[in-house]
Amino acid sequence: MNVIQHKLAQWPGETSVSVRNLTVSYGSHVALDRLSIDVARGLFLVLLGPSGCGKSTLLNAIAGLIDAHAGEIWISGRDVTYAEPKDRGIGMVFQSYALYPRMTVAQNMGFGLKISGMPKPEVARRVRQAAELLRLEKLLSRLPAELSGGQRQRVAIGRALVRHVDVFLFDEPLSNLDAQLRADLRLEIKRLHLALGNTMIYVTHDQVEAMTLADKIAIMKDGVIQQTGSPTEVYNRPVNRFVASFLGSPSMSFLAGRLTSWEGRLAARLGNCLLPLDGYSFGRSDARGDIEVTVGIRPEHVRLGEFMPAVCRDAGMAPLRGEVTLVEPMGAETIIWTELGGQPLAIRASADATLRVGDQIEFAPDVRRVSLFDATSGERL
Ligand code: ADP
């Protein structure tokens, strides 16, 4: 059994953190309104959303750093809604590592245990163990000033690890690091999760961190969880336009159109083109009418140089054609911009595509993989 299968086998039925109808307000501002979420034991859950959507509020409420105004929080089968943070069985890692400048790495990591009265040899054992996991063994006698940002954040993670808790909470732990260190430490955290198998709840506004780290992502907007699912689920079947626009770089192209029936088939009318929607799997059975829609197409779901029969007013039944309006080389790939029905469409092409602005192209969106949204509500159809 590989590690992933092992983790999956541990999941069913075992809830580690349960947030039930949680309401948190700051004065008259309701930041979370009756929010509920269950986190299975051993799961890496990422709370993702734009700044101000309530991610930190939710994490801090789970940690006990903010009071719940209504609702309950359960951790490892205990109602901890009114418990002190230190009694909740959690370890927390913040964006700012806030290490004691005059203490060594080892002292910083062991300080919390020491003041709780733990015998010295046990503190030393746990610090050594955490240092090994975080590859900090050689740095134990250094002061924080003698460490890089990434190493300091590893010490901050170590400070949480030594507590041997069931649940780790991370609040944007990589935000203060530069791009390379961020990528390195992201891998370290993923490795750590695989090694420990603890429940981890991780707040970020960075979709790459969310996609790469998470077993499950909960995408939040205005204090409300919009969708919870595996990275693949939320990426491929976003429940609404907000979720669709938040994931993916370059992002999904959104084309305004009208759902219409054409020769007994469903099609989207986009400008002067009719795009047949054969193979699109509707999530809503009532999605049959003549309604305004937004067609969401990811750049990698359009093939260049392929024949896609569509009905275009100027050309009758014809392949989709367009002119290259912009070329964006990204290193590993090139993004080609064109227009469909008069609206911008991005196409992910290979890095050695030699297209130039003004070139004529033929292309074919994979309609089985597009997303259709009700233009008014933004909900997936
Ligand atoms: P995020 O972590 O997603 O950026 P927060 O949880 O920090 O969002 O904030 C959620 C909402 O609550 C925001 O509208 C924010 O302005 C507000 N808020 C957060 N902390 C406070 C506070 N201490 N006092 C008043 N409003 C706050």
Give DSSP secondary structure letters for 120-172.
Answer: HHHHHHHHHHHHHHTT-GGGTT--GGGS-HHHHHHHHHHHHHTT--SEEEEES
- The enclosing H or E element of 295 equals strand 292-297
CA 25 – ligand 1 centroid, Å: 9
CA 137 – ligand 1 centroid, Å: 38
User: Does ligand 1 come within 6 angstroms of the Cβ of 54?
Assistant: yes
User: Does ligand 1 come within 6 angstroms of the Cβ of 205?
Assistant: no
CA 209 – ligand 1 centroid, Å: 21
CA 91 – ligand 1 centroid, Å: 22
Supply the pLDDT for residue 315. 61
Q: Whose CA is nearest to atom 2 of ligand 1?
A: 56
Beta-ladder partners of 38? 18
User: Does ligand 1 come within 6 angstroms of the Cβ of 151?
Assistant: no
Q: Which residue has the tokens 């990422």?
A: 46
User: Does ligand 1 come within 6 angstroms of the Cβ of 29?
Assistant: yes
* CA 53/CA 51 separation, integer angstroms: 6
* CA 342/CA 358 separation, integer angstroms: 15
What residue spans of the chain are helical by DSSP H? 3-10, 55-63, 105-115, 120-133, 149-161, 179-196, 207-213, 231-236, 241-246
Pairing mode, strands 224-229 and 78-79: unpaired
Percent of the chain with pLDDT over 70: 93
Q: Which atom of ligand 1 is nearest to the CA of 47?
A: 3
Supply the pLDDT for residue 307. 67
User: Does ligand 1 come within 6 angstroms of the Cβ of 26?
Assistant: yes
* CA 293/CA 40 separation, integer angstroms: 36
| Cis-peptide into 250, omega within 30 deg | yes
Q: Please count the other Cβ atoms lying within 10 Å of the Cβ belonging to residue 145.
A: 9
User: Does ligand 1 come within 6 angstroms of the Cβ of 24?
Assistant: no
Buried-exposed string 75-110: b where 16+ CB fall within 10 A, e elsewhere = bbeeebbeeeeeebbbbbbbbebebeeeebbbbbbb
CA 174 – ligand 1 centroid, Å: 19
User: Does ligand 1 come within 6 angstroms of the Cβ of 7?
Assistant: no
Supply the pLDDT for residue 97. 83
pLDDT by residue for the chain (381 residues), tens only, comes to 444 444 444 444 589 999 999 999 999 999 999 999 999 999 999 999 999 999 999 999 999 999 999 999 999 999 999 999 989 999 999 888 889 999 999 999 999 999 999 999 999 999 999 999 888 999 999 999 999 988 999 999 999 999 889 999 999 999 888 888 888 889 989 999 999 899 999 999 999 999 999 999 999 999 999 999 999 999 999 999 999 999 998 999 999 999 998 888 889 999 888 888 888 988 876 666 689 999 999 999 999 987 666 776 666 666 788 999 999 999 999 999 999 989 999 999 999 888 999 999 999 999 899 999 999 999 999
Best probe residue, ligand 1, of 19, 23, 29, 55 (max atoms within 8 Å of C-beta): 29
User: Does ligand 1 come within 6 angstroms of the Cβ of 219?
Assistant: no
The pTM (predicted TM-score) of the whole model is 0.90
Best probe residue, ligand 1, of 23, 30, 57 (max atoms within 8 Å of C-beta): 57
Pairing mode, strands 167-171 and 90-93: parallel
* CA 345/CA 255 separation, integer angstroms: 8
Q: Whose CA is nearest to atom 15 of ligand 1?
A: 52
Supply the pLDDT for residue 1. 43
Please answer whether residues 361 and 369 qualify as being in contact, where contact means their C-beta atoms are separated by less than 8 angstroms: no
Q: Which atom of ligand 1 is nearest to the CA of 49?
A: 3
Q: Which atom of ligand 1 is nearest to the CA of 223?
A: 10
Q: In the structure encoding, which two tokens stand for residue 372, read together? A: 């259709």
Q: Which atom of ligand 1 is nearest to the CA of 60?
A: 6
Q: Whose CA is nearest to atom 25 of ligand 1?
A: 26
CA 94 – ligand 1 centroid, Å: 16
Q: Please count the other Cβ atoms lying within 10 Å of the Cβ belonging to residue 304.
A: 17
